[in-house]
A and B are shown apart, each in its own frame.
Chain A
Amino acid sequence: MQKYVQTDLTKIKLLTSHIFPQLLLILVMLIMVILLSVTSPFFLTWDNLRNIFDHSSLYIILALGMTFVISSGGIDLSVGAVAALSGVCMAAAMQGGLEAGLSILGGLIVGGLMGAANGSIISFLKINPFIVTLGVMSLSRGLALIITGGIPIYGFPRDFTWWGNGHIGPFNPPMLLAAFLTVLAAVVLNMSRFGYYTLALGGNEEALRRSGVSIHLYKIIVYILSGVAAALGGLVVTARLNTAEPLAGWMLEMDSIAAVVLGGTSMKGGKGSVAGTVTACLLLGMLRNGLVILSIPSYYQQLVIGIIILAAVIIAEVRSGKNLAFINK
């Protein structure tokens, strides 16, 4: 009989493979905090930190949905447009005399339906998610423009704008919503059967199917989650600006994807980190804030963020190569 041994080697491997991206992010974040607080006395004040959290909350909400999609081996390019469409639908409903709560619910359902459309087409017709969500993105943006006639809708009841500008103690609703969803997403992804299947879908869809699990169902739910997350993002944007803008959330899908990848979730699927996604969102938020504080022109923001994302992806790739070499020894 062979001995049942627990080697230390695996522990080292797990440490390098799982926590490394997050550790690196936190390290970069610390360096940034130190640099920025040295260069600007304003950076490390509660008001400014609150600002960063407030701005990051929108990105966090969308990126959490994207974390599930990318972990399952897919991608969702429609989230920015779905956020705009949902916001517009909420606004149109309120304009039509519906109360705030029901309008919000309606907007969330619209987001969920768009997600269901994405998921159903991708799963049943086996079409590349990139193309499908690109189509739904254009479709949603088009619908948002048609509903508004291209003109932003503004002026909402207090019940609605509270979701963007309200106060709960020192915090505001978007922050708390983002915090709540973060905890929820972490629990669901890592501890629930749905989370297990999301990761298994990204790892080996066929294996999951042969184990007797309905992969269509779970795939569609993943995209519905992303759609609802986008709609919640639409709620935050619309309530914050007190305006439903058909072109809101422009390029938000790119920011979400960037944050997810930066956070260590594998584009190949099968590995997802909620903590990483949230850390990356905060890092990007801090970076934008820092560049503004240091009065660096906004054009440079795009450049710097692009460089950071590229660096993160390259580091991840090099590291995985190294890992394999280490294991093969």
Chain B
Amino acid sequence: MLQVEKDPFIRLRNIKKTFGHVVALDGVDLDVCPGEVTALVGDNGAGKSTLIKIISGVLYPDEGEISLNGKTYRHLTPPVAIELGISTVYQDLALVDCRDVASNIFLGREPLKARFFVDKKRMNRESEELLRKLKVSIPSVTTPVEFLSGGQRQGIAVARSINQQGKMIIFDEPTAAMGVGESARVLKLIRSLGDEGFAVLIISHNLHHVFSISDRICVLRNGRLVKDFRTENTNPDQVVGFITGSNQRTEEFRKGSTKA
């Protein structure tokens, strides 16, 4: 791997976000590197969703900085995030069910010919290529998305993210509500994106999935990033310990710290 690829694609520093009295994020630092699958784990309410919403521009942080492409931003907006190459595959996938596969993949960036007509042929051709590259098998790019399975739909949502010239792809619970075989296929797809040089950030509750595909595991707890592991240097028990906080308490106990 090239040296350049070790530079993080996005660098978050001291991100804070509160909702009323609730502190969702309390000074989070996070780097996401290209060519790596970074998993964000944590209990419900740990701040995972808030963090990815800040990265995709849906929420604005109260404090902190986002550095990207050599520039520093106070916050992003959804169009700016897409422009900068950050694409999010939402849990609900945000597909237009009644429209066909190609229209969904090109939603919002349909190619035109003669400045007016949507270039359907080109859309179909490029969609087919993209899906073949991603090894997503569907009957035809002219099939309405509503007729496809959960895994196929996920594949289409991923294809759209890549088609938006995404360099970083965020997955929010990609395997929730999916069968075993389907999950395996989606995980393989996510892993292959990391191998191809995309910066991948994934939220998942399923540690088994996380361990099977990630390079790094970042544990959020009560709005803080409490641990940043290389996946090969840890094990599920240790990660669970950090998610629940039992490890931390043990360590603090050992150190003699009695912080409440």
- A→B interface (CB under 8 Å): 1-7, 9-10, 13-14, 17, 191-193, 195-196, 199-200, 202-204, 206-208, 210-213, 266, 270-271, 327
Nearest chain A residue, comparing its CB with the CB of B157: A207
With A210-B78, A212-B79, A213-B108 already in contact, 16 other A-B pairs whose C-beta atoms are closer than 8 Å: A2-B137, A7-B139, A10-B142, A14-B142, A191-B116, A191-B118, A199-B96, A200-B103, A207-B94, A207-B104, A207-B107, A208-B108, A211-B108, A211-B160, A212-B82, A270-B96
Query: In the complex, are the beta carbons of B107 and A13 less than 8 A apart?
Result: no
Query: In the complex, are the beta carbons of A200 and B118 less than 8 A apart?
Result: no
Q: What 1/0 mask marks residues of chain B from 59 to 90 whose CB sits below 8 Å from any chain A CB?
A: 00000000000000000001100100000101
A1 to B128 Cα, complex, angstroms = 15
A199 to B82 Cα, complex, angstroms = 23
Query: In the complex, are the beta carbons of B103 and A10 less than 8 A apart?
Result: no
Nearest chain B residue, comparing its CB with the CB of A2: B137
| B230 within 8 A of partner (CB) | no
Query: In the complex, are the beta carbons of A200 and B107 less than 8 A apart?
Result: yes
Most buried by A among B95, B132, B147: B147
Determine the interface band of chain B, counting residues with CB < 8 A from chain A: 35 or more
Could you list 30 examples of A-B contacts with CB < 8 Å? A4-B131, A4-B132, A5-B139, A6-B139, A7-B140, A9-B139, A10-B142, A10-B143, A13-B147, A14-B142, A17-B144, A192-B118, A196-B118, A199-B99, A200-B96, A200-B99, A200-B107, A203-B96, A203-B97, A204-B94, A204-B96, A207-B94, A207-B95, A210-B90, A211-B160, A211-B164, A212-B82, A270-B97, A270-B98, A270-B99
Query: In the complex, are the beta carbons of B98 and A199 less than 8 A apart?
Result: yes
Query: In the complex, are the beta carbons of B137 and A3 less than 8 A apart?
Result: yes
Given the complex, which residues of B lie within 8 Å of A211, measured CB to CB? 94, 107-109, 160, 164
Given the complex, which residues of A lie within 8 Å of B131, measured CB to CB? 4
Given contacts A200-B107, A327-B147, contact A193 B112 (CB under 8 A): yes
Secondary structure call for the B interface: loop
Nearest chain A residue, comparing its CB with the CB of B147: A327
Query: In the complex, are the beta carbons of A204 and B143 less than 8 A apart?
Result: no
Most buried by B among A200, A204, A327: A204
Query: In the complex, are the beta carbons of B143 and A196 less than 8 A apart?
Result: no
| B135 within 8 A of partner (CB) | yes
Given the complex, which residues of B lie within 8 Å of A206, measured CB to CB? 94
Query: In the complex, are the beta carbons of B96 and A207 less than 8 A apart?
Result: yes
How many whole Å from A273's CB to the nearest CB in chain B?
13
Given the complex, which residues of B lie within 8 Å of A208, measured CB to CB? 96, 107-108
| B117 within 8 A of partner (CB) | yes
Query: In the complex, are the beta carbons of B137 and A196 less than 8 A apart?
Result: no
Nearest chain A residue, comparing its CB with the CB of B95: A207
Given the complex, which residues of A lie within 8 Å of B112, measured CB to CB? 193
Given the complex, which residues of B lie within 8 Å of A212, measured CB to CB? 78-79, 82, 108
**6 shortest interchain CB distances as A-B pairs:** A211-B108, A270-B98, A203-B96, A207-B94, A2-B137, A204-B96
Most buried by B among A13, A200, A202: A200
Query: In the complex, are the beta carbons of B94 and A1 less than 8 A apart?
Result: no
| B29 within 8 A of partner (CB) | no
Given the complex, which residues of B lie within 8 Å of A4, measured CB to CB? 128, 131-132, 137
Query: In the complex, are the beta carbons of A193 and B140 less than 8 A apart?
Result: no
| B110 within 8 A of partner (CB) | yes
A271 to B147 Cα, complex, angstroms = 15
Q: What 1/0 mask marks residues of chain B from 117 to 161 whose CB sits below 8 Å from any chain A CB?
A: 110100000001001100101011011100100000000000010
A207 to B144 Cα, complex, angstroms = 15
Given contacts A6-B140, A191-B118, A327-B147, contact A210 B94 (CB under 8 A): yes
A7 to B138 Cα, complex, angstroms = 9
Given the complex, which residues of A lie within 8 Å of B95, measured CB to CB? 204, 207
How many whole Å from A78's CB to the nearest CB in chain B?
26
How many whole Å from B86's CB to the nearest CB in chain A?
12
Given the complex, which residues of B lie within 8 Å of A270, measured CB to CB? 96-99
Given the complex, which residues of A lie within 8 Å of B117, measured CB to CB? 191-192
Given the complex, which residues of A lie within 8 Å of B108, measured CB to CB? 208, 211-213
Given the complex, which residues of A lie within 8 Å of B79, measured CB to CB? 212
A257 to B176 Cα, complex, angstroms = 40
Given the complex, which residues of B lie within 8 Å of A13, measured CB to CB? 143, 147
Nearest chain A residue, comparing its CB with the CB of B79: A212
A212 to B128 Cα, complex, angstroms = 23
A266 to B146 Cα, complex, angstroms = 15
A192 to B131 Cα, complex, angstroms = 24
A19 to B88 Cα, complex, angstroms = 35
Most buried by A among B88, B108, B135, B140: B108
A296 to B95 Cα, complex, angstroms = 50
Of B78, B107, B116, B143, the contact of A192 (CB 8 Å cutoff): B116
A327 to B144 Cα, complex, angstroms = 12
Of A5, A10, A200, the contact of B147 (CB 8 Å cutoff): A10
How many whole Å from A70's CB to the nearest CB in chain B?
13
A312 to B189 Cα, complex, angstroms = 44
Given the complex, which residues of A lie within 8 Å of B135, measured CB to CB? 1-2
How many whole Å from B34's CB to the nearest CB in chain A?
23
Query: In the complex, are the beta carbons of A193 and B99 less than 8 A apart?
Result: no
Which residues of chain B from 155 to 181 have any CB-CB distance to chain A below 8 Å in the complex? 160, 164
Given the complex, which residues of B lie within 8 Å of A1, measured CB to CB? 135
Given the complex, which residues of B lie within 8 Å of A195, measured CB to CB? 118
